[in-house]
């Protein structure tokens, strides 16, 4: 049995914050793997289900970030779990946007959620570090992490969530590398096409007299403005 915890702050005004990527990630896992509805429990919200036969409980603490350890500790004691059964999804300033690294133990790097969990339970739990990038100036960090993801970030965010949801079965068995690789495959840029040697290209080219004029393509239709929020649109991808 595993406990996956997403770190974030409760309430509608924090829903799309970069600091809430932990909440957003386990929401994606719940949708992809058909978990139960969320219910109030352990000073937070939980959903339960099975991933490839492994029972998993998802938890979103409602204690605010700097008291996350209270909710996590209560759930761990209830289920009689060890630290090895705990996986925590959280935002990571020191990783580029969309980059994911999984490790066990380590420092807190100024993250209040990790600080609280470490204070209550100790440091030796699995961390799923989800890169959100750094604003470049320490004075801007607070506003940056508590700001919403921008519209131009929707593409990489959707691919990130798909990779996390796909890699969740391996993570439930303790293998974080599969999850990291699943995210990387989705975010990796396409390989450039191999250029043909000049002689080969000349041989393959049609004779001038045989070339037919191609009609101009129709202009692309202009997409209407989507009234849904970014998170609503991302949620639709997992239904």
Residue 208 maps to a domain? no
Q: Are 72 and 5 in contact (CB under 8 A)?
A: yes
Is 19 assigned a catalytic role? yes
Helix/strand/coil percentages in the chain, nearest 5: 45, 20, 40
Pick from 66, 90, 84: which is nearest to 123 by CA?
84
pLDDT at 100 over 90: yes
Quick check: is 167 in a domain? yes
3-state secondary structure of 203: helix
Any domain includes 203: no
Count how many domains the chain has.
Answer: 1
> What residue has token string 């580029």?
96
Structure-token pair, residue 12: 């509608």
Beta bridge partners of 131: 92
Q: Is residue 218 part of a domain?
A: no
pTM, whole model, 2 decimals? 0.79
Position 225 scores a pLDDT of: 44
Question: Which residue in this structure is represented by tokens 């209040």?
Answer: 112
Q: Is residue 212 part of a domain?
A: no
- State yes or no: pLDDT of 89 exceeds 90: yes
Helical H runs in 7-52?
A: 21-32
- The bridge status of strand 2-6 relative to strand 86-92 is parallel
For 189, residues 6+ apart whose C-beta sits below 8 A from its C-beta are none
What the block records as the tokens of 178 is 């599969």
Q: What is the pLDDT of residue 222?
A: 43
Is the confidence at residue 207, as pLDDT, over 60? Answer: no
Q: Is 20 contained in some domain?
A: yes
pLDDT in tens, 148-203: 999 999 999 999 999 999 999 989 888 888 888 888 888 876 566 666 565 555 66
**Could you report the per-residue pLDDT of 105-129, keeping only the tens digit for each?**
988 888 999 999 999 999 999 999 9
Output the average pLDDT for the chain.
85
Domain containing residue 99: CATH number: 3.40.50.1470
On whether residue 209 sits in a domain, the answer given is no
Q: Which residue segment(s) compose the domain that 145 sits in?
A: 2-189+225-236
Question: Which ranges constitute the DSSP H helices of 33-175?
Answer: 68-79, 112-121, 141-145, 154-172
Among the listed residues 85, 88, 95, the one whose alpha carbon sits nearest the alpha carbon of residue 22: 88
């Amino acid at each position: 049995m595993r406990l996956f915890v997403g770190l974030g702050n409760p309430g509608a005004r924090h829903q799309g914050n970069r600091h809430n990527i932990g909440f957003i990630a386990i929401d994606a896992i719940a949708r992809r793997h058909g978990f139960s509805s969320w219910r109030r429990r352990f000073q937070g919200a939980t959903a339960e289900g099975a991933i490839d036969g492994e029972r998993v409980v998802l938890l979103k603490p409602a204690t605010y970030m700097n008291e996350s350890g209270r909710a996590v500790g209560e759930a761990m004691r209830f289920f009689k779990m060890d630290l090895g059964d705990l996986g925590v999804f959280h935002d990571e300033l020191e990783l580029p946007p969309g980059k994911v690294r999984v490790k066990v133990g380590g420092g807190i790097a100024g993250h209040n959620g990790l600080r609280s969990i470490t204070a209550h339970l100790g440091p030796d739990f699995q961390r799923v570090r989800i890169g959100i990038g750094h604003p470049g100036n320490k004075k801007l960090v607070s506003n940056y992490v508590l700001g919403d993801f921008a519209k131009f970030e929707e593409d990489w965010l959707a691919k990130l969530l798909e990779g996390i949801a796909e890699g969740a079965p391996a993570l439930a068995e303790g293998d974080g590398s599969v999850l990291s690789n699943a995210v990387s495959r989705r975010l990796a840029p396409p390989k450039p096409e191999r250029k043909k040697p000049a002689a080969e290209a000349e041989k393959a080219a049609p004779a001038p007299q045989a070339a037919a004029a191609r009609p101009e393509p129709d202009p692309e239709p202009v997409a209407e403005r989507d009234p849904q929020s970014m998170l609503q649109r991302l949620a639709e991808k997992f239904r």
